[in-house]
Structure 1
């Protein structure tokens, strides 16, 4: 179950990253909570797309080689958690609405929390989280 969920999150992050890299304008227009954050900047969207791709690759590495990929998966999860904190901060500072924040909960915060949960070593488990079935 954890392995399948790790693959699912990795694929979703990868698709999002590829869309940001290859179709930045389309991606910008399709995600409703993005345009209110500022004017479209294709370089910035592609930069973030690379971060999403790297996070995807880290999770894939973790699934394929749990011992060697664990640190990369945790680092990727921490990056996504930090990104989530920015979204919380924007809400608290009044730079976004509750409606957009609720969308971000599904699109940004939930995947970040899932990544951290999937990558974090389990107490007393000899196998890494992604290798558990």
Structure 2
């Protein structure tokens, strides 16, 4: 899920934002002019006489959805749960309309007229979330434990034991760990290959081969070439100039080397302050994984691992 928003990410973001605007406009209309709203929607009068208090109550429900969806639309990769929560009322409303049509309370013709405004919004949000999840762009935070562990087992089948131990720990340890994970792969301005090199450089210092391979697999999914990643896994020799600098910077941070400042200045001069921050953040945080494994006695040295993808 690292990297800036691409075109499809923006499409998902816009879809959620549009539903937020719809919910806000509809809710505000219901609160400000309930009777005007009642007569403006052709199918509403057929449902019974107007009740301005009841219309206002529903307006508040729409506004609540709008607030949550608007919050989610700012950063749906991280706030997808807010989008889901904001859609619950809209989804329940749509299901009620379907039920009333099935049992004969509402006519099929009226249901068809209601579809765009009743079923359209929740469908929009679910399509947006599907765009993020299918492409693995959504943060793991909030996923059910079984789904998250299944994903981890598929991603690192031989090295997921420590995550299962975290999952078994009391005090919602896994949920807190899931909040940490996106920070360790944060990328916005840095080129994917540069960030990947810094992460691998840092984790190799920790002498955890599987961790280095996991970093490489993440960068591979981010579009970095196998040639570049294998060069980094081999110790950085043969890397292009930019990636070699990032690799050395990651190494220096991990070993707390005196040259970290100088290398950081060079990174900043070449890429800017934001990229320096992203590389420093990645190199510092990626070390948590091998440190966790080492603390649990589960570390596998680089020398015992085939470092190639």
- TM-score, length basis structure 2: 0.39
- Once the two structures are TM-superposed, the CA of residue 62 in structure 1 deviates from its matched residue by 0.5
- Once the two structures are TM-superposed, the CA of residue 28 in structure 1 deviates from its matched residue by 0.4
Matches for 1:110-121 after TM superposition, within 5 Å: 110-119=120-129
Alignment-derived partner of residue 25 in structure 1: 35
- Find the partner of 1:63 among 54, 73, 80: 73
- Once the two structures are TM-superposed, the CA of residue 50 in structure 1 deviates from its matched residue by 0.8
Alignment-derived partner of residue 202 in structure 2: none
**Whole-angstrom CA distance in 1 between matches of 2:128 and 2:99:** 25
List structure 1 segments (4+ residues) > 6 angstroms apart after TM superposition.
Answer: none
| Matched-pair contact (CA < 8 Å) for 1:28–1:35 | yes
**Whole-angstrom CA distance in 2 between matches of 1:34 and 1:43:** 15
The reply to whether residue 54 of structure 1 matches residue 64 of structure 2 is yes
**Whole-angstrom CA distance in 2 between matches of 1:14 and 1:80:** 12
Aligned residues: 128
After superposition, the C-alpha distances for 1:59-108 in whole angstroms (9 at most, x for unaligned) are 11011243663222101212211111100111111111111100111110
**Whole-angstrom CA distance in 1 between matches of 2:88 and 2:16:** 15
The reply to whether residue 108 of structure 1 matches residue 118 of structure 2 is yes
- Find the partner of 2:107 among 97, 101, 109: 97
- TM-score, length basis structure 1: 0.86
**Whole-angstrom CA distance in 1 between matches of 2:79 and 2:48:** 35
Q: Which moved more, 1:88-97 or 1:72-81?
A: 72-81
Instruction: Answer with 1 or 2: which has the greater Rg.
Output: 2
Q: Per chain length, whose mean CA-contact separation is higher, i.e. which structure has more relative contact order (CA < 8 Å, sep 6+)? A: 1
- Once the two structures are TM-superposed, the CA of residue 114 in structure 1 deviates from its matched residue by 1.1
The reply to whether residue 82 of structure 1 matches residue 92 of structure 2 is yes
